[in-house]
Structure 1
Amino acid sequence: MPIVFLIIIGAAAGFLATRLMKIETGVIETIGIGIAGALIGGLVLRFLLYITGALAGMVGAVLGAMLLLYIWKSFKGR
């Protein structure tokens, strides 16, 4: 099922991309361009989400450590 979905999405993406860039191609080329674009775009998006997720985890870890240090400092001073 994912292959059929990729072909359908790729065909639509290829059609939109060729129309937006004002390039005339055949049906097979349009579908091929769309499928290749979907694969490249999917890989890039997954990579960016992975990097963003790792960065968000690092920010969360630093903020959590800062909160614990604040609490520790507050109780130690008493």
Structure 2
Amino acid sequence: MPIIALIIIGAAAGFLATRMMKLETDVLTTVAIGVFGALIGGFALRFLITITGWMAGFVGAVLGALVLAWVWKTYIAK
């Protein structure tokens, strides 16, 4: 089933992409552009989300450390 969904989504994406770029292609080329574009875009998006996730974790860790340092300075270290 995922392969059929990939072909259908790829056909739609390829149709939109070829029309936006004003390309005159046959059906097979349009579907191929869409499917391979979806694969490339999917991998790139997953990579960016992974990097963003790591950075969000780092920012969260720094903010947590700042709050803990503030609590330490305000209430504990007198």
- TM-score category of the 2 structures, normalised to the smaller one: over 0.9
The normalised TM-score by structure 1 is: 0.95
1:19-73: CA deviation from partner (whole Å, max 9, x where unpaired): 0000000000000000000000000000010011110000000000000000011
User: Are 1:75 and 2:75 matched, yes or no?
Assistant: yes
Q: Which residue type is aligned with residue 30 of structure 2?
A: T
Which residue is equivalent to 2:11?
11
How far did 1:77 drift?
4.0
The normalised TM-score by structure 2 is: 0.95
User: Are 1:25 and 2:48 matched, yes or no?
Assistant: no
How far did 1:76 drift?
2.6
SS of residue matched to 2:24: coil
Structure 1, unaligned stretches of length 5 or more?
none
Q: Which residue type is aligned with residue 8 of structure 1?
A: I
Which residue is equivalent to 1:36?
36
The sequence identity of aligned pairs, in percent, is 64
Size of the aligned set, in residue pairs, is 78
Q: Distance in 2 between matches of 1:52 and 1:20?
A: 29
Which structure 1 residue ranges, 4+ long, deviate > 4 Å from structure 2? none
Q: Distance in 2 between matches of 1:52 and 1:18?
A: 30
Alignment RMSD: 0.8
